[in-house]
């Protein structure tokens, strides 16, 4: 039994970095870890649960843990039938929510408050900054875009932007950004398209905390990448004062 637990622990560690698991709250992570071990979720099952948890949170449709516990109450099926039943019900529930027409107040939606600079902090973090675009899934035609999360949260208050629901009111710069970029391992004979506007506007901050220095150095050291700065800002001073690598686009 101990060997089985150890084996699944290794699988779990390999799963978590390939999904949106790291973007969940600590409470959500703890719950999903609990059911992953309890039901020995496969990678696809694990991703299904993680994405459902994230979607429910963003859609403000309740908490996955409460839903799961409610569905489990009184359920006497043995494994693996129990797991299959719960995952099927979850898939049906999420599909019902997706198909339900949205309703909006006649007065319109409240504009999100703008992110104030007084909420900007610099912190050390063990979070990964490099990964696949979160839209990638078996049901999408994937362009294989990778993303680098140089900053968490955005100063712009665009009402349509999903960043508004991803993070708290704080804007967080990673103190170890340069070191984390240096640690990214890329295959030298493979082309990579990498975007930097997934978690914050790419240029609004300029070179604060040396982020543009670090990103340009990363691009220069990897000529087999196309590094895309996605932005709504006209803050291009850095590129007027420096010669950017040829494999950077805005």
- Given this model, what pLDDT does residue 181 score? 93
The answer to whether 199 and 151 have CB atoms below 8 angstroms apart is yes
| Contacts for 75 with CB less than 8 Å, ≥ 6 apart | 82, 85, 86
pLDDT tens profile 35-52: 999 999 999 999 999 999
Q: Per-residue pLDDT for 143 more than 80?
A: no
Structure tokens at 242: 């420096």
What are the backbone dihedrals phi and psi of residue 237, each rounded to the nearest 5 degrees, phi first? -55, -40
Q: φ and ψ at 214, to 5 degrees?
A: -65, -40
Query: Rounded mean pLDDT of the chain?
Result: 87
pTM recorded for the entire structure:
0.54
CA 224 to each of CA 74, 213, 240: distance values in angstroms, whole numbers, following the listed order:
55, 19, 24
């Amino acid at each position: 039994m101990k060997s089985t637990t150890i084996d699944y622990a290794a699988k779990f560690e390999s799963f978590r970095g390939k999904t949106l698991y790291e973007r969940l709250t600590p409470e959500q992570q703890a719950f999903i870890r609990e059911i992953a071990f309890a039901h020995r979720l496969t990678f696809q099952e694990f991703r299904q649960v993680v994405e459902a948890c994230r979607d429910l949170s963003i859609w403000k449709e309740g908490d996955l843990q409460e839903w799961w516990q409610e569905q489990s109450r009184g359920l006497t099926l043995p494994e693996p039938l129990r797991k299959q039943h719960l995952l099927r019900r979850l898939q049906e529930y999420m599909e019902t929510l997706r198909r339900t027409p949205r309703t909006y107040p006649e007065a319109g939606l409240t504009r999100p408050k703008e992110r104030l600079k007084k909420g900007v902090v610099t912190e050390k973090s063990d979070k990964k900054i490099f990964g696949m675009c979160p839209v990638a899934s078996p049901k999408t035609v994937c362009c294989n875009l990778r993303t680098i999360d140089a900053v968490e949260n955005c100063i712009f208050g665009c009402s349509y932007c999903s960043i508004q629901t991803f993070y708290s009111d704080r804007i967080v710069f990673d103190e170890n950004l340069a070191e984390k970029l240096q640690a990214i391992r890329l295959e030298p004979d493979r082309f990579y398209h990498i975007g930097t506007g997934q978690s914050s506007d790419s240029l609004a901050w300029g070179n604060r905390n040396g982020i543009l220095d670090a990103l340009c150095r990363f691009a220069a050291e990897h000529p087999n990448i196309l590094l895309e700065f996605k932005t709504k800002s006209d803050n291009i001073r850095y590129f007027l004062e420096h010669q950017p690598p040829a494999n950077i686009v805005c």
